[in-house]
Amino acid sequence: MKRILITGGAGFIGSHLCKQLLKEGNEVLCVDNYFTGSKENILELLDNPYFELIRRDVTEPFYAEVDEIYNLACPASPVHYQYNPIKTIKTSVMGAINMLGLAKRVKAKILQASTSEVYGDPAVHPQPESYWGNVNPIGTRSCYDEGKRCAETLFMDYHTQNGVAIKIARIFNTYGPHMNINDGRVVSNFIVQALQGEPLTIFGDGSQTRSFQYVDDLISGLTCLMSTNAEVTGPVNLGNPQECTMLQLAETIIDLTGSSSQVVFHPLPLDDPQQRRPDISIARELLQDWEPQIDLKQGLSHTIAYFEKQLSSK
């Protein structure tokens, strides 16, 4: 049994990771300040004697004896991370410093949940880990993009200077149960709008693309990456290379929900990427033949069922 710390453990991805690591027979310490996370996501875990929940902000130093750390704490949707951009970049940078300091002290292995946003609006497609990105350092998204880029730098410097065992995962668009109804990301927005019979809001002309992975596939990738030997530091792309346009996504969700909703178009936000698709060659090679298993329609069906239940309960 390992003792594993998960920052942001009550969030969308963190809650799924807590559940999986407990299922594998570990002791899990969940830390969250509930800015975007929720106790509802982890209610079923509270009676587990090997699960511990602590309300805390990662910008403050934290001390615990642990074997592994997954650093997931940070708002991930533009609506939330742009609400307080200074707090967002503090969470990424100071949170990384505090968790790396803890890992150094207790000799724990630590994984950074980075993001495909480090590639910005990419000029290379699909995006391999060797691509340095095309990021506006002073734009509306830079608090998140540059915060995550700085966190990657900190992780690599702690590794090279202090020998900390690190893993860096670059997570591409992920969806599934436990997303917040007011999450602000495209999948949750479209599903909620469709279920409520409202117009589906597309920013731009709908031709911009994303690649969506179901949360179970991501959790499998994260745990596989953490289990690799010390020479594997990353960054490693974790995403589904199946690409679709925003208009295709909207039409698929309308079809799966049986909604009568229409599609409406609004101006594209500043610095919004035109295309996003991961090159997962390194993940396939290093992570025990890891590859996403759940296709878009299957994953969306699970997610729609979750939101139907959430909306009916409210």
Q: Hey, which residues are catalytic here?
A: 144
- Compute how many other C-beta atoms are within 10 angstroms of the C-beta atom of residue 130: 9
Q: Report the DSSP beta bridge partners of residue 7.
A: 31, 71
**What angle is formed at CA 44 by the lines to CA 102 and CA 34, rounded to 5 degrees?**
50
Q: Report how far apart, in Å, the C-alpha atoms of 300 and of each of 77, 185, 187, 252 are.
A: 18, 14, 8, 9
| Structure-token match 């178009």, residue found | 265
Contact 83, 123 (CB under 8 A): no
- Can you state the angle between helices 215-226 and 12-23, rounded to 10 degrees? 60
Count of positions (residues) in the chain: 314
Backbone angles phi and psi of 171, in degrees to 5: -90, 125
71 close to 113: Cβ distance less than 8 angstroms: yes
Say if CB 151 and CB 212 are below 8 A apart.
no
Closest CA to 164 of 258, 68, 77: 68
CA–CA gap between residue 152 and residue 149 (Å, rounded):
5
Gyration radius of the chain over CA positions: 19
The token pair at 296 is: 């878009």
The end-to-end CA distance of the chain, in Å, is: 39
